[in-house]
Amino acid sequence: GDAVEHIPQLHRFEVRDVTGCGDTAAAVTMLAKLSGATLNEAATLANAAAAVTASKIGAVAPTLAEVLDMLSS
């Protein structure tokens, strides 16, 4: 459809390096969608994963534990 939905970034963290954030968001979105998540769920998960990546120096992939911790904070 033509509907547009805003997925806010609700996580507060110190941005250290944005290298790899887009790749992380794209990969997590695809993985979540392939696992049966809705687009909203996938985008929320991808947002948290990219936030974890941005909080580190370099293109460092987040762990599941780090993403879940980001979502619960």
Helices H, strands E: what count in the chain? 3, 0
The answer to whether residue 17 is catalytic is no
Question: How crowded is residue 63: how many other Cβ atoms within 10 Å of its Cβ?
Answer: 11
40: closest CA among 5, 69, 3? 5
Q: Which of 2, 17, 23, 69 is catalytic?
A: 23
Cα 5 vs. chain centroid, distance in angstroms?
16
Catalytic residues, by residue number, are: 23
